[in-house]
Amino acid sequence: MLSADAVESGLARYRAQLDEALVRYLPDREPRKYLYDLVRSYPSRSGKGLRPALCMATAAAFGGDPARAVASATAIELFHNAFLIHDDIEDGSDLRRGLTCLHREHGVALALNAGDAILALAVRPILDNLQLLGPALTFAVASEIEHMVVQSVEGQAIELGWIRENDCSQETGDYLEMCLKKTCWYTAIHPCRIGALIGSGGTIDPNRLNRFGYFLGAAFQIQDDLLNLVGERGSYGKEIGGDLLEGKRTLMLIHTLNMSGVRDKAWLQHFLDRPREQRSEKEARRVLELMQEHGSIEFGRQCSRFLAGAALNEFYETYGCLPDTPDRRFVHDLVLYMIRRKL
């Protein structure tokens, strides 16, 4: 039986450890107004802290002290926040975690620079691992993070390329590949791999965590995209329908493009071919109607559930032999919690 309260209190517990670390790693000095106030903006907003929580919980589930994973979890969270700032600029978004996006509040130049600063600040906790974990494990974690960052920017490039070229030829497999690169490595696979490496003292083969992290990350991303289409603004934190206006290639949009007849597909391609400013909300509503007509929303829901089921299966394969601890239970419950987020 899933307890949403237990997951949320677990998230809050890991979040508190993360916040303590963030205070140490985010400078409180000049220039505040044009840099460090901006740097602190996204990390201080009420994010779930999913990635650091997965990292710390996995470290504890594999028998380690979660405190030994805090620096690595902080680095992951900092990279995530830097990506968010840059993504919001690239996508022309308005809202992030319920508040105005950084570039809308302070302009593109300062927001970009704050994102760069966070990327630089994320290096320090990786270096601090040297004292905490020793050279071999520090290098292993640094390699994980390097792979994570490269994969994420490659995934983002693939999606931006589709939008730029107005490429509407994607199929489900293309989406899954892009989603793996853009989201799954840094949202779930690497947090779990790093947690397992630290928790086991480097004795576990981190490849054992790949499938679990991938299925969980993809289920999470599809659910997030569904929330953007049909969620409640209050609980979602971003503009509902924003992905439609951005022309984001979600699984649901790809499904609709593939299911539409010639006329509807031509209309969709024309809609997607224009810059965001020239797409109207009325047109975005029409895209949503087409999605409903072709069963794309239900298709997305079902895929998300399939992936969550596969993630649970992998959980038993990978975490099943570990002692039943609150941290292990947290990872288990997180799988269903992610796909039951309010639609």
Partner 1 sequence: MSKSTAPDPAELASQATIFIKKAASVLEKEVAAGIVAAQSLEKRLIDVDGIRSRSPDELMQRFRRDAHDLVDVVIDLVALGVRSAETIAERAVEVAKEGEGPDKGRPQQSREQAKKPKRP
Taking the complex as a whole, the smallest distance from the CB of residue 284 to partner 1 amounts, in Å, to: 21
Q: How far, CA to CA in Å, does 65 sit from each of 10, 180, 199, 213, 293?
A: 16, 29, 7, 21, 51
Please identify, using beta-carbon distances, which residue of 173 and 323 lies nearer to partner 1: 173
Q: Which two tokens stand for residue 98?
A: 């319920």
Residue type, 77: E
Distance of CA 274 to the CA centre of its chain: 27
Q: Where are the alpha helices (DSSP H) in 231-280?
A: 233-236, 242-246, 251-259, 262-273
Taking the complex as a whole, the smallest distance from the CB of residue 294 to partner 1 amounts, in Å, to: 6
Please identify, using beta-carbon distances, which residue of 169 and 302 lies nearer to partner 1: 302
Q: How far, CA to CA in Å, does 213 sit from each of 66, 154, 302, 334?
A: 19, 18, 19, 12
Please identify, using beta-carbon distances, which residue of 15 and 255 lies nearer to partner 1: 255
| Residue corresponding to tokens 């086991």 | 200
Let me know: does 256 contact 243? Beta carbons within 8 Å: no
Taking the complex as a whole, the smallest distance from the CB of residue 343 to partner 1 amounts, in Å, to: 17
Taking the complex as a whole, the smallest distance from the CB of residue 321 to partner 1 amounts, in Å, to: 21
Taking the complex as a whole, the smallest distance from the CB of residue 211 to partner 1 amounts, in Å, to: 6
Taking the complex as a whole, the smallest distance from the CB of residue 185 to partner 1 amounts, in Å, to: 9
Taking the complex as a whole, the smallest distance from the CB of residue 210 to partner 1 amounts, in Å, to: 6
Binding stretches for partner 1 (CB under 8 A): 135-136, 139-140, 143, 146-147, 151, 172-173, 176-177, 180-181, 207, 210-211, 214-215, 218, 255, 259, 294-296, 298-299, 302-303, 306-307, 309-310
Q: Hey, what's the torsion of the CAs at 175, 221, 87, 252, to 10 degrees? A: 50
| Beta strand ranges found along the chain (DSSP E) | 95-96, 99-100
Q: Which two tokens stand for residue 261?
A: 């007849």
Pairwise CA distance, residues 112 & 86, whole Å: 6
Taking the complex as a whole, the smallest distance from the CB of residue 310 to partner 1 amounts, in Å, to: 5
Let me know: does 248 contact 160? Beta carbons within 8 Å: no
Taking the complex as a whole, the smallest distance from the CB of residue 224 to partner 1 amounts, in Å, to: 17
Pairwise CA distance, residues 38 & 32, whole Å: 8
Please identify, using beta-carbon distances, which residue of 93 and 187 lies nearer to partner 1: 187
Q: Which two tokens stand for residue 103?
A: 């570039």
Please identify, using beta-carbon distances, which residue of 104 and 211 lies nearer to partner 1: 211
Pairwise CA distance, residues 317 & 297, whole Å: 30
Please identify, using beta-carbon distances, which residue of 93 and 151 lies nearer to partner 1: 151
**φ and ψ of 99, to 5 deg:** -125, 165
Let me know: does 192 contact 214? Beta carbons within 8 Å: no
Q: Which of 221, 262, 223, 228 is nearest to 243 (CA)?
A: 228
